[in-house]
Chain A
Amino acid sequence: MDSLRQEKIHKFEEFVDRRLKPDLVRAIAERDKVFDQQKIFSDLRKNIENLEKNSVTNLRTLVNLGSEVYMQAEVPDTQRIFVDVGLGFHVEFTWSEALKFISLREEKLERQIEEYTRLIASIKAQIKLVCEGIRELLQIPEEKTVEGRVF
C-alpha cells in the first residue's frame, strides 16, 4: 500500500517538476518580454512629449557604434520621426501621429500582458492543486490559511 502511494506521489512530483514548473517559467519569460516592449514605448512617448514641450528642433546625440564607442550625431529636423511598427517596418510620423500610434501600441501590449498573467495564474493554480494532492496522500495535516481576526 505504501509503495503504491509512494509511486503516486513520485509521479505527481515529477509532473509538477517536469511539466508545470517549466511551463510557468516560460510563461513568465514571455510576459517579461512584453513588459520590456511596453517600457520601450512608454519611454518613447515620454521623450516625444518632452521634445514637444521644449519645442526642440535640433538635437545632438551620441550614437553607439558598437562596443560602447560613441560618435556625435546631429539631428537637424526633429519633426519627422520613424517609428517601428513591427515586421521590420518603420513609418514616418509627425509628433502627434507618433503619439497616437504609441498609445494604440501600448493598449495592445497591455492586453497581451493580461493574457500572460492569466496563463501564469492558471499554471500556478495547477501546481498548487497537485501539491495538495500529494499532501493528501501523505496525510500531512492541512495548512491553516491565515485568517483575519474576527472581531
Chain B
Amino acid sequence: MGKPEVKGTVTPLSSMFPPEEVQKAAKLVEEKLSEKRNEMSQLKEFIADNTSLINLVQKLPDELHHDIMVPFGKAAFFPGRLIHTNEFLVLLGESYYADRTAKQTVDILKRRGKSLMSKVDALKAEMQDLKAEASFFDSTASEVAEDLVEIREYEEDNSNQSESQSGPTELESPTLAETDHKMDSKMGASKDDEYARLMSRLEELEKEELAAENGEIDEDEDEDEDEDANATETDGDENELTEAAFHRKKDEGYSSLDHGQRFSESQPTRQLQQSKGKEAMREEISNKYNHQDLTNQFSCTGLTAEPLTKGEMSCGRIIHQDKMLNPSVNASVPSENKPVQTSKSKFDSSKAFTGSIVEHTENLEKKTPGQNTTPSESSGSKPSKPVSRFKMQRK
C-alpha cells in the first residue's frame, strides 16, 4: 500500500469556543440556576406553611372556644376568643370564599400541598438540566483555557476514503461537545455518503456487539472478533464496537475510547497481546476516565470513523485524557502517544481503523514496551503522528 497522504489542520480550541463567550455562557447558566434555587426555597416555604396549617386546623375543633389575641390592623391587638371552632372560611381564589368544616378544609389544604409538590418536582428537573449545562460550560472553559488544539488529519487511502481525527496537542481529551463539534466539522470534510454508509453499519454492529457483550468475556470476544476481522474492515468495526460496548459496560466513557476502538489495526502478533492489552486498557480506562456519554461518543466516533478506510491503519489518533484525571497522565501521554496507539491496535488487529485511537497513559506505559517493538520493526522511525505507525504495521 502506498503511504497515504496525510493532510491535517490544527485548530486551537479557543478559536472555536472563545473563552470569554464560554465564561459568559457559564455565568448566565449560573444566574438562572440561582434564580431557580430561590424559587425552590420559596416553594418549600409554602409547603412548610401548608403542613403547619393543616395541623392547626385539625387541632382547633378540639375546643369550643380558644382564648386568643385578636389582631386589629398590623399594630394592635384585642384580647378575645375564637368561636365556632369548626367553621373555616377558605379563600378559593378570585375573591371567592367557602365556608368549610375542619375536615373539608384539611382536604382542600392537602390538595394544595400536592400541587405545590408537583411544582417543586418540575423545578428540580429544570435545575438538573441547568446544572448539566453549567458543568459542560465549565469543562469547555477549562479546556479552552488550557489551550487545547484540535488536530485534524486527513488520510486518503487507495480507495480515496478520508479519515479525520482530532486530538489535542497536549493530548488532552476534548469534551464531548468538542468532539461533537469536531465530528460535525469533520463530517463536512469527509464524504457524506461514505459517512452515512459507515454510520449505519456501525450502528448495526453496535447493536450486535451490545447484545454479545452483555454476558461474555470481553477478551475472548474481542480476540475472536479480532481474528475474524483481520481480513475485513467490518470485523474491525465490530471489534471496535465490541470494544466500545465493553467499555460502555464498564461505565467508562471516553470519546477517545470509542475512537480507539474504531481504530483497527490488525496484526497477528497483536491479537495475542490484545486480550491482555484490552484488559489492562479497560481497567486503566475505567480508572482514568470520567464517565462520559459513550453512546454519544460512539456516534461521534462513528462520524469520524467513516472516513477511515477499511484496512487502513489509523491515520490519526485522538488522545483523550481527561484533564481532571491526572496531570501525570497528561505528562506521560505525549511520550506514550505512539505506544498507546499500538496498544489500541492490539485490540483491533487487522481491523480497519475507523476512528480515533484512545490513548491511555497507563495502558500506554504497559503496552508500550511490547508495542513499540512491533511498530519499530514494521516501519522505520515514525513521525509523531501515530497514524503512520499503524499504517506501517498494517502492511
Contact = CB atoms under 8 A, between A and B. Distances in A.
Partners in one complex: yes
A80 B72 CA distance: 12
A71 B89 contact: yes
A11 interface: no
B105 A69 contact: yes
A117 to B, nearest CB: 23
Interface string A62-93: 11011111111111111011111000001000
Given A47-B73, A98-B76, A67 B82 contact: no
Contacts of A67: 49-50, 53, 109, 112
A90 B77 CA distance: 8
A82 B89 contact: no
Nearest to A41: B75
Nearest to A44: B73
A72 B50 contact: no
Nearest to B68: A73
A90 B84 CA distance: 27
Given A68-B90, A68-B91, A69-B88, A74 B76 contact: no
B70 interface: yes
A95 to B, nearest CB: 11
A95 B29 CA distance: 57
A96 interface: no
A35 to B, nearest CB: 13
Contacts of A61: 70, 80
Contact of B82 (A43, A71, A80, A81): A71
Interface residues of B, number: 34
A82 B386 CA distance: 88
A59 B89 contact: no
B99 to A, nearest CB: 10
B77 to A, nearest CB: 4
Contacts of A41: 75
Contact of B60 (A47, A71, A98): A71
Interface of A: 40-41, 43-44, 47, 59, 61-63, 65-78, 80-84, 90, 98
Contact of A75 (B52, B78, B105, B112): B78
Given A69-B91, A70-B97, A73-B83, 14 more contacts: A40-B75, A44-B75, A47-B73, A62-B89, A63-B82, A65-B60, A66-B52, A68-B91, A71-B60, A71-B85, A72-B89, A82-B78, A84-B76, A90-B76
A70 B88 contact: yes
Contacts of A43: 73
B78 A78 contact: yes
Contacts of A69: 53, 57, 88-91, 105, 109
B337 to A, nearest CB: 50
Contacts of B78: 59, 75, 78, 80-82
Contacts of A82: 69, 76-79
Contacts of A83: 75-76
B109 A80 contact: no
Nearest to B56: A65
B269 to A, nearest CB: 70
A44 B82 CA distance: 22
A70 B90 CA distance: 6
A58 B42 CA distance: 39
B53 A66 contact: yes
A68 B93 CA distance: 10
A127 to B, nearest CB: 28
Given A63-B70, A84-B75, A75 B80 contact: yes
Nearest to B75: A84
Interface in B58-117: 60, 68-85, 87-91, 97, 105, 109, 112
B91 A75 contact: no
A63 B85 CA distance: 12
Nearest to A66: B53
B82 to A, nearest CB: 5
B105 to A, nearest CB: 6
Nearest to B100: A69
Nearest to A67: B53
A49 B311 CA distance: 100
Contacts of B83: 72-74
A74 B67 CA distance: 10
Contacts of A77: 79
A65 B57 contact: yes
B368 to A, nearest CB: 58
15 contacts: A41-B75, A43-B73, A44-B76, A47-B72, A59-B70, A62-B89, A63-B82, A66-B52, A68-B90, A69-B88, A70-B91, A76-B81, A81-B72, A81-B77, A90-B77
Given A67-B53, A67-B109, A71-B85, A40 B90 contact: no
A41 B72 CA distance: 11
Contacts of A76: 80-81
Nearest to B71: A63
